[in-house]
Amino acid sequence: MLQKRMILLVLIMMASVTGFSSRAQADSALGPRFGLSGGNDDFFLGIQGEFGPILGAATLVPSLDFTLGDHSSTALNADLRFYLIPLPETGIRFYGAAGPTLMLSPDTELGLSLILGLHIPMKSTRRYNIEYRWGIGDIPDHKIGVTVMFGL
């Protein structure tokens, strides 16, 4: 029952992306991501979006990851990101985030991800995100990844 409610919550959060203001659309981005997952050194590939700000200073950051290796799996994340500390005169910002993670294969599992990351701007509307994710529940214990974002 709890899993069905969490799935519904994730779907509502992702569907709400279409209701943002024009300013939010200017901050929206999409890009590929990759990194290492868990203590078993599995590699993951995926796609990540950024939509916001929503709910005040929070940014909605959904992503879909495909883990390759000994423990192949698919994960859907729906994080709310908060920018914490900017580095003066660089554009670099530290952020924290949290959100549900739904493991879609091999078994359906639900957990919570806690994230610390670094947002590094590039030219134009492109940027890098480097993040470390802690997993709580039946999801990978940790992930480290890099995303290259392209503004929409």
- List the domains of the chain with CATH numbers: 2-16+28-151 (2.40.160.20)
**Do residues 130 and 146 touch, judged by C-beta distance below 8 A?**
yes
**Do residues 24 and 72 touch, judged by C-beta distance below 8 A?**
no
Average pLDDT of every residue of the chain: 83
At 115-144, the pLDDT tens digits run 999 999 998 888 999 999 999 988 888 999
CA distance 115 to 4: 24
DSSP state letter for 85 = E
CA distance 84 to 105: 33
The pTM score is: 0.78
Please check the confidence at residue 105 and state whether its pLDDT lies above 80.
no
